[in-house]
Amino acid sequence: MPAAGDRILATDTATLTSYVLTPPICRLIQQAAQTITAGTTPALTFGAGSEDIDTNNFHDPTTNNTRITPSIAGYYEFDAMLHVVPVANAINLQIFIMKNGVIAPPGWFWAPAFTNTGYSGYSGKTILSANGTTDFFEARAGVATQNATTQVSGGINSTFQCTFLRPL
């Protein structure tokens, strides 16, 4: 991208047009159930078959399959959704969006304790910057009072996604 005062080249125009018309998108849908142990906050795993959309290869389902690593520097909107199967007792659900292993602003999102008689989910959303090389992002889940298992059937799956908004 050109800096202030630089000439704008045809390649710069093509890049900007591409970002506007076909922004990079990565959407992961969890395909294998994952146990979340009470009092822990594991990263959600997105292994084989989890890449619903990955226009720019931001995710590797084999190596670091918990991560989205944008290869284009910019601002991104991240969305994470945690779905768990029914449990007998009251449960608190938490979802954290992490940048480079640290909770990213606005922090975490949590649902107050409730008795889970049906499938339930909780989501979080934030806008974060990525340097396009080393920054990585994860969705971490937590439950406070008892173990829970993520739901992965019937279209009720935990998800993690990012959408490119604009260059840095």
Segment 117-150, tens digit of pLDDT: 555 667 889 999 999 999 999 999 988 778 889 9
pLDDT at 100: 97
Number of Cβ within 10 Å of residue 165's Cβ equals 14
Cα separation, 98 vs 18, in Å, equals: 28
Q: Where are the beta strands (DSSP E) in 14-136?
A: 25-29, 35-36, 51-54, 67-68, 74-84, 90-99, 102-115, 120-130
Instruction: Give the separation between CA 112 and CA 94, rounded to whole angstroms.
Output: 9
pLDDT of amino acid 130: 98
pLDDT tens digit sequence for 14-31: 666 666 778 999 999 999
Mapped onto helix, strand or coil, the DSSP state of residue 110 is strand
Q: DSSP code of 56?
A: T
CA quadruple 125, 128, 134, 140: dihedral, nearest 10:
-20
Q: Which residue would you say has higher pLDDT here, 67 or 87?
A: 67
Mean of all residue pLDDT scores within the chain: 86
Whole-number Cα distances in Å, 148 to 32, 136, 153: 14, 26, 15
- Comparing 89 with 36, which gets the higher pLDDT? 36
Is residue 10 classed as helix, strand or coil in its secondary structure? Answer: helix
pTM of the model: 0.86
C-alpha span between 145 and 90 (Å, rounded): 7
**Domain 25-166 sits in CATH 1.20.140.10:** no
Q: How far apart are CA 76 and CA 89, in angstroms?
A: 37
Contact 85, 119 (CB under 8 A): yes
Binned at pLDDT 50, 70 and 90, residue 65 comes out as very high
* 68 touches 46 (CB < 8 A): no
Residue appearing with tokens 């937590």: 142
